[in-house]
Amino acid sequence: IILDDDAWRRMQDAGVRNVDAFVEYQKGKQQFATAHGSNNLIADMREGLIHFNRAIELVPEFGAAYWDMSDYYGHIILDSNSTPEEQANALAELRRVIDAAWRFSGDSPRKAFIDVERVLFSDDWTPLHDRIEKAVATEGCPSPNWIELAVGIGHAEEMLDVWNRFQRCEPLNVIASMKAAQAELWLGNYDRSLNLIEEGEITMGTNSWFASTKAWVYMAMGRAEDALALAPEIEHDVEFAGITGRAMPLALMGDVETAREAMNEWIAQHGRNQWGEIIINATIGDRQTANRLAAEMDARPGGAFLLLLTSVYCGCGAPFDLEYTPNFRERLDESATDWPLETLVDFPAKDW
């Protein structure tokens, strides 16, 4: 196996000298990156997991492999079609692999990003903002994952820098363009956000994840019809944002009943999407249902993390009332995180 200069640099950044292990690691990373722009997220990630496990079999102390594979377990926790047992097992496995990632990462800047995730999936968020600030201050190629949610809790400018640096290190990673665009959205730089997505589409082609990010920008701009036009592409994403493709733009138009119908049709065809249902019920003004679903999510494994994700992706301030989510409220209080989050989109039926 012959590696070019860039591959050697990435191998050094990964902290491994075994070329065969590095090749398996790179295959896993590529599969995960492809999965995040595909219509079969978890199935595609599961294939990437095979390569990460092979890399770890060759080098049991391969910290970067443990870190990158952890994202799979986060998506199992997020998936509403996972059973409670599967979600609990995924949370335990996620904590195991990120602890291994931290232990085997030496003095790599990666450890700072791992520390953020260790907090997000813990029962104590006291050091959350301190951990975020340490991670975004690291130099060199960053290792972001669920730190992406920091964009909605006061760290949008720093996260834009993180994703811009990440994109320079991994220019063909679909996540980089999408998340940099998301940061620009939270900073109110809508044209820059759209330009980043369009540049990504030129380089990597269109996909449902680019489309959903663009739709969120259009909605923040008040361009509900443009967002609705993207629904056919967004709805290819069955496992993440597809449920929002029609419902959210319709809610922004004030067409509450059609938005509700779109959500229910999606559930009937594809199954539950609890975080998406909370968002949609909030945007159509059904506060009671949003609160009931949020209470259910609060009791799930990783519930506080899931509710933070839901709140950030809604961009609607408070999608639910904290009195129904005591675990999440405790995490916000101990981390001194402001609530409600900033409102990016004003939905006419949401009156709180």
Q: What digits encode the pLDDT tens for the residues 228-275?
A: 999 999 999 998 999 999 999 999 999 999 999 999 999 999 999 999
Tokens of 70: 């952890």
In whole angstroms, give the CA distance from residue 278 to residue 316. Answer: 11
| E strand segments, the chain | none
Indicate if the pLDDT at residue 26 is higher than 50: yes
Q: Report if pTM > 0.85.
A: yes
In whole angstroms, give the CA distance from residue 219 to residue 223. Answer: 5
Tokens of 225: 């019809």
State the average pLDDT over residues 18-38: 88
Tokens of 246: 């029609």
The one-letter amino acid at 74? G
In whole angstroms, give the CA distance from residue 254 to residue 249. Answer: 9
Instruction: State the burial class of residue 136 (Cβ atoms within 10 Å of its Cβ: 0-12, 13-18, 19+).
Output: buried
Tokens of 254: 């004030």
Among the listed ranges 35-39, 224-228, 304-308, 337-341, which one has the minimum average pLDDT value?
A: 35-39
